[in-house]
Amino acid sequence: MRSVWVILLTAFVAASGAAEQASQGLLVTAAWLDGHLHDANIVLLHIGDKDEFQKQHIPGAQYLALPDISAPHNMTDNSLMLELPPVAQLQEAFETRGISSDSRIVVYFGKDTVSTATRVIWTLNYVGLGDRTSLLDGGMPAWRAAGYPLTSDVKTPARGRLMPQLHPEILADAKYVAGHLHQPSIALIDVRLARDYAGEETPRSMGRRGHIPGASNLPIEMMTDDQARLKPASALGELLRGAGVKPGSQVVSYCYIGQRATVIWFVARLLGYDAKMYDGSWDEWSKRSDLAVDGPAAKQQP
């Protein structure tokens, strides 16, 4: 009997270790990055204000702006903001920053919010680099607080060689969302601020007020602590369960334009859920009269 318990305990420890390693692959600490900063295949991406990057950044980091990996947006033609561009544009943006198919990539934000970094991670997942990409928990503020070095030196990397392997399964479009409303296996999460979810406020450019029918509300501000670090896995899991996520659920998130929603997508992945992000988000849904809207102020026009 004792040998059976030993076997079970060993299996449990091994499973726990595997889960910890999986989490470590998606989310890394400043201490981990310091120990791997000079690995031959590592690429750091700094997301945020370019002037701040030029003043100070983590040694070896390359600057990347969200417009570099987004389709052009023109207010006059009613195009959507922050949409995925053609694959060739993504390949150019990543290769010129030294990214190859075998790179180990760490993405961090300067002093912006974590959603800028997770949008980049979501895009890297789309081109097939999801298992090679991590978020620096707490971004550059966490690196600075730990006393690790910063620099103003900007080095031009050797061009990478990336062979995109697309993963469209992480992307939800309006047709997918509309076709899966109120399905028990789908947890649809609106990550906008509560007042926008309720239809009390919405920017005029966003069309109608309210939310997608059946969506629960979980603003991303609840996912991080006051130092912009993700909360512990137990707390994150409780938040998702409160938003209707059950074992085996597919998590589909949306926000204003497809940036904030990538935080929920990342957290869902971190906790082992299948996840999609609706790229068009409220920017698209609210403007289409053929798509239903729910909420107290749903029929009002801004």
Tens of pLDDT, residues 239-276: 999 999 999 999 999 999 999 999 999 999 999 999 99
Q: Which fold has domain 23-166?
A: Oxidized Rhodanese; domain 1 (3.40.250)
Residues 148 and 146: their CA atoms lie apart, in Å, by 6
Q: What digits encode the pLDDT tens for the residues 158-214?
A: 999 999 999 999 999 999 999 999 999 999 999 999 999 999 876 655 678 999 999
Predicted model pTM: 0.89
Domain boundaries, the chain: 23-166, 169-285
C-alpha triplet 38, 139, 172: angle, nearest 5°: 105
What is the per-residue pLDDT for 103?
98
What is the per-residue pLDDT for 296?
61
Q: Which fold has domain 169-285?
A: Oxidized Rhodanese; domain 1 (3.40.250)
Confidence class for position 18, pLDDT limits 50, 70, 90: very low
Q: Are strands 104-109 and 133-136 parallel, antiparallel or unpaired?
A: parallel
The strands making up 62-64's β-sheet, listed across from edge to edge, are: 27-28, 133-136, 104-109, 42-47, 62-64
What is the per-residue pLDDT for 28?
97
* 23-166 and 169-285 have identical folds: yes
